[in-house]
Amino acid sequence: MTRLSVNINKIALLRNARGSNFPNLVQVAQDCERFGAEGITVHPRPDERHIKYQDVYDLKPIVSTEFNIEGYPDARFLEMVLAVRPHQCTLVPDPPGVLTSNAGWDTLTHKMFLADVIAQLHAHNIRVSLFIETNEAMIEGAKEVATDRIEFYTGPYAEQYPHNPKAAVEPYKRSADFATQLGLGLNAGHDLNLMNLAYLKSHIANLQEVSIGHALITDALYYGLQNTIALYKKCLV
């Protein structure tokens, strides 16, 4: 079964709006795990507009499932990740100031940079995943820099899914088969929701993990957090 990692960035954004500790991010992370999530994901950005760097340190002792830290590997981010030592670090090619992750790595242009970063993470026994699009050259480049997994950027899939599900999923199915042949693990994330998740899962047999935040937290406003996590897990069976 594919693991569900809940991205709690939007909980932090809600907390920050009032400048207090309500909702309590640590408590929400614990509740997500209690309700069945198999992982907790955070994506701290340089401006700390949602997850703050201190949140990452606060979460480390209490996350009892899998802790996944996403982000662009600048010096500050790497220092934090190497100190916290999460189970997984997902590297995303976000320049400062972007609203959300909307592209995968160019693993050929950034080959030396990524190889160096990944070697540092591996030296601390941290599994590495690279945010990647459905481009076989970039997937092959990911293998060459020694990442453990790739995380498919599923924004294009989610955009096309309502109009043509078969065409939307085909590049991901093809690329997943290629990545599996190379020995890479498979994750996925971005704009996955209760409408499109099960279909993606049914076409990628080796999908190990999905990281979902925005849609899941939005659905929780209607269904409640516990019920929402159960609904998303049902999509992954």
In 3D, which of 80, 81, 147, 85 has the Cα closest to residue 111?
A: 147
Which of 33, 38, 66, 70 is the catalytic position?
70
Q: Where are the domains of the chain?
A: 3-235
Contacts of 81 (CB under 8 A, 6+ apart): 69, 71, 73, 89, 121, 126
- Residue 96 is predicted with a pLDDT of 64
Structure tokens at 112: 């030396």
Structure tokens at 227: 């019920």
Identify the three-state secondary structure at position 163: coil
Look at the block and give the residue holding tokens 């599994």.
127
- Residue 144 is predicted with a pLDDT of 98
Which of 38, 66, 133, 190 is the catalytic position?
190
- Residue 98 is predicted with a pLDDT of 58
Q: Which CATH superfamily groups domain 3-235?
A: Aldolase class I (3.20.20.70)
- Concerning whether 124 is annotated as a catalytic residue, the answer is no
Q: Which amino acid is at 168?
A: A
Look at the block and give the residue holding tokens 């997943």.
176
All residue ranges of the chain with pLDDT < 50 are none
- Residue 151 is predicted with a pLDDT of 98
Which of 38, 43, 50, 209 is the catalytic position?
43
- Residue 207 is predicted with a pLDDT of 98
- Residue 134 is predicted with a pLDDT of 97
Kindly give the pairing relationship between strand 39-42 and strand 207-212: unpaired
- Concerning whether 43 is annotated as a catalytic residue, the answer is yes
- Residue 1 is predicted with a pLDDT of 86
- Residue 176 is predicted with a pLDDT of 98
